[in-house]
Structure 1
Amino acid sequence: MTMHRPGLPEDLPPGETLWGRWALLAAVAATTAEEQRTSGYRTGRWIDAEGLHYDDSGCTWWTMSRMGEGRYVLYGEDESSGVKWHEPPIDMLAGGPEWLPYDELHDRLKGYELGCVYWYENGVWARAPYPDGLRDDGLDCGMSGFVERDRVLGELSDHLDGTVGGPDADRLLADAEAHRLEPGPFLERLRPTDPDGETMDPPAVARALVLAGLG
Structure 2
Amino acid sequence: MLTDVDLPAPGLLWTRWATIAASLTGIGFADVWFVDERGAHHDDHGGSWARLALLDGARAVLFGYDRDHSATAATDPPIDLLTGAPEWLPWDDLVALADDNRLGFVVWHTEGRWSRTRYRDDVGDGLVQTVGAVLSSENTLRELGEVITEWGGHELRTAASRDEVREAAERLLASAVRGQVAGEAFSRLLGRVPSLDLQAALLAAGQGGITAGTRPPRIPPGSRPPMRRVRRLSEGEHDRLVWAAMQDAVELDRPSPPETGELAALADWMRGRASGGDGRCTVLVYADATSLSAQPGSHPPADREGEGRWQAYRELTELVRSLRRAEADPRYGRWLFLRVSTTAEDFEISRYYDSWPPWWPDDGVSGPWRTNLQEEMDGRGPQWRPGWVRLLDPSVAFRP
Classify the TM-score, shorter chain.
0.7 to 0.9
- What residue in structure 2 maps to residue 54 of structure 1? 42
- What residue in structure 1 maps to residue 191 of structure 2? 192
Alpha-carbon offset, residue 169 of structure 1: 2.8
Q: Unpaired runs of 5+ in structure 1?
A: 1-6, 36-42
User: Amino acid of the residue matched to residue 104 of structure 2?
Assistant: G
Q: Structure 2: how far apart are the matches of 1:33 and 1:174? A: 23
Q: Structure 2: how far apart are the matches of 1:100 and 1:143? A: 19
Alpha-carbon offset, residue 214 of structure 1: 0.8
- Runs of 4+, deviation exceeding 6 Å: 32-35
- The equivalences for 1:58-137 within 5 A come to 58-78=46-66, 79-130=68-119, 132=120, 134-137=122-125
Q: Unpaired runs of 5+ in structure 2?
A: 149-160, 212-400
Q: Structure 2: how far apart are the matches of 1:123 and 1:201? A: 38
Alpha-carbon offset, residue 213 of structure 1: 0.9
Which deviates the most, 13-22 or 79-88?
A: 79-88
Q: Structure 2: how far apart are the matches of 1:199 and 1:33? A: 7
Normalised by the size of structure 1, how large is the TM-score? Answer: 0.78
User: Amino acid of the residue matched to residue 89 of structure 1?
Assistant: P
Q: Is the 8 A contact 1:82 1:134 kept in 2?
A: no
Per-residue CA deviation, residues 111-145 of structure 1 (Å, 9 max, x unaligned), is 11111101112331111111x36421111211222
Per-residue CA deviation, residues 131-172 of structure 1 (Å, 9 max, x unaligned), is x36421111211222213223113324668x7x9xx843233
- What residue in structure 1 maps to residue 308 of structure 2? none
Secondary structure of 2:71's counterpart equals: coil
- What residue in structure 1 maps to residue 22 of structure 2? 27
Secondary structure of 2:25's counterpart equals: coil
Of 8, 15, 36 in structure 1, the residue corresponding to residue 10 of structure 2 is: 15
Q: Is the 8 A contact 1:83 1:134 kept in 2?
A: no
User: Amino acid of the residue matched to residue 29 of structure 1?
Assistant: L
Question: RMSD over aligned Cα, in angstroms?
Answer: 2.9
When residues 129 and 88 of structure 1 are mapped into structure 2, their CA distance, relative to the original with a 3 A threshold, is same
Aligned residues: 194
When residues 55 and 209 of structure 1 are mapped into structure 2, their CA distance, relative to the original with a 3 A threshold, is same
Q: Structure 1: how far apart are the matches of 2:121 and 2:54? A: 32
When residues 17 and 190 of structure 1 are mapped into structure 2, their CA distance, relative to the original with a 3 A threshold, is same
When residues 179 and 111 of structure 1 are mapped into structure 2, their CA distance, relative to the original with a 3 A threshold, is farther
Q: Structure 1: how far apart are the matches of 2:121 and 2:190? A: 47
- Identity of aligned pairs, percent? 32
User: Amino acid of the residue matched to residue 182 of structure 1?
Assistant: V
Secondary structure of 1:204's counterpart equals: helix
Secondary structure of 1:83's counterpart equals: helix
- What residue in structure 2 maps to residue 38 of structure 1? none
When residues 170 and 119 of structure 1 are mapped into structure 2, their CA distance, relative to the original with a 3 A threshold, is same
Q: Structure 2: how far apart are the matches of 1:54 and 1:191? A: 20
Instruction: Answer 1 or 2: higher relative contact order, Cα 8 Å, separation at least 6.
Output: 1
